[in-house]
Amino acid sequence: MHHASPLSVLSDDEKMFQSEIQKIANQVIKPKVLHMDETETMDPGLIKTLFETGLMGIELPEEHGGSGSSFFMAILAIEALSQVDPSVGVLVDVQNTLVNNIFLRWANKEQKAKYLPQLASQKIGSYCLTEPNSGSDAFALKARATDEGTHWRLDGKKIFITNAKEAEIFIVFANANPEQGYKGITAFIVERGTPGFSIGKKEVKLGIRASSTCEVILDQVKVPKANLLGEYGKGYKIAIETLNEGRIGIAAQMLGLAQGAFSGALKYAGEREQFNKSLKDFQAVQFQLAEMATMIEAARLMVYNAARLKDAGQPFVKEAAMAKYYVSDIAEKVASRSLEVYGGYGFIKEFPAEKFYRDAKIGKLYEGTSNMQLQTIFKLLES
């Protein structure tokens, strides 16, 4: 009888892929982390490497220049990159789990033929949903889409848009019929350089500082009719279904962060001496590390399980919300406790502990706050 291997077990291919990404992360990203954090910039050479290694088109079909791989592989990549820099993790995450995912599921043949090769090889994508008065209440969006016969006209403002500074292909959600409420929300493909489309202020953030978060301004932007994505009035469905998968991506980012913070603390505990013995010989420190390792193990099982369910075509929304909720919580705890293992050294920039600590907080806020995850989980308990 053939037994399916447990969800936590990685196949040889998956292990090999993960160690390849870890190698790239340690060789290419690690030396740049501190500088990128301080200057709040994503290194352009690094972005080039991400494209060259196929990490920006993991699930895209090979005929469009992608890697033709699975969602699970994308999750492994996000986790591995985030162990070194969660900013790079989220860049790859948004490209794969939000932007590419929308094109794969909702774009028509012409749109796929035009945009997928660009997304796989050189152009960063961005997902524009959030507005000043429309965060958790995503359907309160005010951006308008007006049918002007030969084209659509978009007006409005988006905020907190990840990757906006570097992106060249934007998926913009706007309401084409506000009288119909959320049933008027429609998705559009907008290219950088379109007249009236501009990037506003770039936010200065507590963490993931190398990842750009900007305003996107739509001032009478003319969008070709051919750039309506999915169907008219189906924008809310596209947004929600995409975010379900995106949550697993953010959970993977937070999992990588927790693992990165923990690995540093474990190593340091073996090197640091006090009272003539190494830190890891103190039972209090041993217990702290053991507890962190257990939290990370539980988190990893949740993330991998949600991703496997998604690839298997099984319902996964509850598991995705649980993973996002739980893993963002333990990432914050593990990052905090890891910092404490370093003592005073944890508080200074020389060690990565303080950066992981700052980077962790966003996990509870973006792609659905922790409260929104709990609401989703509760609704699905009853179904």
Closest CA to 294 of 259, 269, 320: 259
DSSP summary character for residue 6: P
Residues 335 and 357: their CA atoms lie apart, in Å, by 5
CB count within 10 Å of CB 298 equals 13
Closest CA to 295 of 257, 260, 251, 326: 326
Instruction: Give me the sign of the Cα torsion angle 322, 379, 381, 6.
Output: negative
Closest CA to 243 of 332, 369, 58: 369
CB 223 within 8 A of CB 153: yes
Active site residue 367: yes
**345-383 core/surface letters (b: 16 or more CB in 10 A; e: else):** ebeeeebbbbbbbbbbbbbbebbbbbebbeebbeeeeee
Which residues lie below 8 Å from residue 267, measured CB to CB, with a gap of 6+?
A: none
Phi-psi group of 163: left, alpha or beta (phi > 0 → left; psi -120 to 50 → alpha; rest → beta): left
Which residues lie below 8 Å from residue 234, measured CB to CB, with a gap of 6+?
A: 106, 186, 187
**How are beta strands 185-191 and 228-229 bridged, if at all?**
antiparallel
In the chain, DSSP finds a helix count (H) and a strand count (E) of 12, 10
Closest CA to 250 of 313, 308, 322: 322
CB count within 10 Å of CB 331 equals 34
Marked catalytic residue, from 245, 340, 367, 382: 367
CB 308 within 8 A of CB 7: yes
φ, ψ dihedrals at 171, nearest 5°: -100, 115
Residues identified as active-site: 367
